[in-house]
Structure 1
Amino acid sequence: MKRIAVVGASLAGVRAAQELRAQGYDGGVVLIGDEPHLPYDRPPLSKAFLAGTASRESLDLLDTGDLASLALDFRLGVRATGLEPGNRRILLSDGGSVHADGVVIATGGRARTLPGFAGAHTLRTVDDALALRSSLVPGVRVVIVGAGFIGAEVASTCRSLGLDVVVLEALAAPLTSVLGPALAAVCARLHLEHGTDLRCGVSATGMDAAGVHLADGSLVPADVVVVGAGMTPATDWLAGSGLKVGNGVHTDAGLVTELPQVVAVGDVARYGGQRHEHWTNASEQAPVAVANLLTGHTSRTYTPSGYVWSDQYSGTLQLAGHPRQDDSLSFVDGDPSSASFVATWQRDGEIVGVFALNNAKVFNRLRRQALRRPAIV
């Protein structure tokens, strides 16, 4: 291959470019990104960067030495609008195109919006974070719709700034669908202990200048509204390409699409019927996808670790493995009422998942056991 295009300039795309060089590829690498910025890390956007305690430069994924050694051809501030496999061409929003013998799809996704919430903030990009940060002035009332990881982290940051925060969640407790009711109750406790007004089992229907309206007809006053409703995979540009898409780009277990010269990594990749929208996953997929792209067939397969972390208030939450709702949950170090504990999920006598609050040492030991079981079951 004389030239490989990496479409998407966030973590997954950068790791793919680095792996291409690490695995000996010395051809041209084009990195296409729809934002005008050089690649940056996203986790701090809801935490230190939003709080104003981390600089823009601290987010950068590549330093001067990286830029020189990788020798990438950056196409930033331009969006991929089409893929023509037969012509080995990627169409761009500025009317141009890029010829590529191989393609890494790393387009991630866009923050999901909600009907009736025009004017609400979302948080996916550094520009989103800057816009939200500028609105977090003393005395504003913040309402966050959604108590998932992003919603909880934004709530935590806003409380650290001394702001009044209301979090609205449709589920009975935050992250119930991910953690189950017992651990979801721990997440709810963190909100309440730090002065956040958490309201679960409520449905937000829209917003206006006065605040957020609920399905029961009540109004939650708000000066700033943030919607944390997840993301939508960025696959629209692949229409007509012949690739199978639908809640992501479909791949085999080696992250290879129906076209062996096209692989997908990161939040946009769907393999084994699943997508995994986490930092670790985006980073760990690159070596497998790149190896298969360079060999021209699936020679390696990817097993996700399921590792996720989230900093919320005084707590660092860590999760690994792939537990199911019917797995048995046990507390093995501490208990859910304490400030530090570890829990495991077991299935057929084996640990299949580990959760910890402020207990990295025990978590890491048990995490290695959880990874012994195949991840997609």
Structure 2
Amino acid sequence: MSFFIHFKTQFDALLEINTLEPIILSQNATSAVSLEVVDNYPLVLKTTPLQEKFEHKKLLPYAAKLNVQNGILEKSSPLLQITEYPNGHYEVMFLKNCLAEHKKPVILSQHSYSIKGKEHTATVFFDGIYQISIQDKDLLFSKEILPEIDHVTIEKVKNKDVLIVDAKNKNNENYTLILTCKNNSYEVLIEDIVEKVEQNSDTLTILKKQNDMAGHGIVIEFELKNDIAIKKDEYAVYINDKPKQIALPELVPFAFLEALAVNNYTLARTYLTDELNDSLEDEHLEAYFGDFVEIAPAEYEQNAINKIVVIEENKKRQAKVFEVLLEKNKISNFSEG
């Protein structure tokens, strides 16, 4: 069975495939190879980083296999991310395999507080990796913090069993980790880059920047009840009070799908012709495009003009290609395939 495989990597690397000549892969670039993959005869992939470190961690080489099972390309390692495209195309992304070089611990922030009459101490520190640990007499919780952070603060919400860790990442963005504690056990409520966190006696409100063309933010509201936090609402807003205008016709399909991604059907409909608007309900749009996690150019199509890709991630990552027709910078029709 023949597949057209598009290799990508998160780092500069040398790729060896069975007995083929080695390929140099550049970060975020694509190398396409047409390969015959036979059942029970796997492709053995060996990747060697061409850079020593990523941030504060050492990059390690690794090997993995691609094999065909029931006509589907499968992987042997979680370090490979496979996305299935139409017409026998697959994108294979090599993820980073990192090793921390452990160092003498440096405490970035520490805070002691009381929960149910017991004193807990939360510590954010760096010992080759950034992490948080919480303990009383025993270790209650430990978690790696992936980004590089500094300017760390730790705060317990007054009269609630909720802990908020705030920090700055290397891009000077606000990293926030919020934990709840129930029966002496901690769980992650949210971990993300956020714009703002607001709290009152019974409500915690988080604003996240969506980083899309319209300038959306996502507001998430939690109701705090002693040792639990219940999500009350989640909705989209504009960071700058109104959406940014899209001037280029080729960006209209992307802006339309970005609006659907945050359930802003009012904005999404401004990118459609009147005739198409009249023929579609919001439910039709939601069902037709599905629950996608990513929007991308149709780079693996022979004729990519007027086409766009959405990627769904359920049991596997799968790409759908849509053809979009425009009339005077408005979408007049779209079809899958």
Q: TM-score, normalised by structure 1?
A: 0.23
Structure number with the higher helix fraction is 1
Structure number with the higher strand fraction is 2
Question: Based on CA coordinates, which of the two structures has the bigger radius of gyration?
Answer: 2
Q: Larger relative CO (CA 8 A, sep 6+): 1 or 2?
A: 1
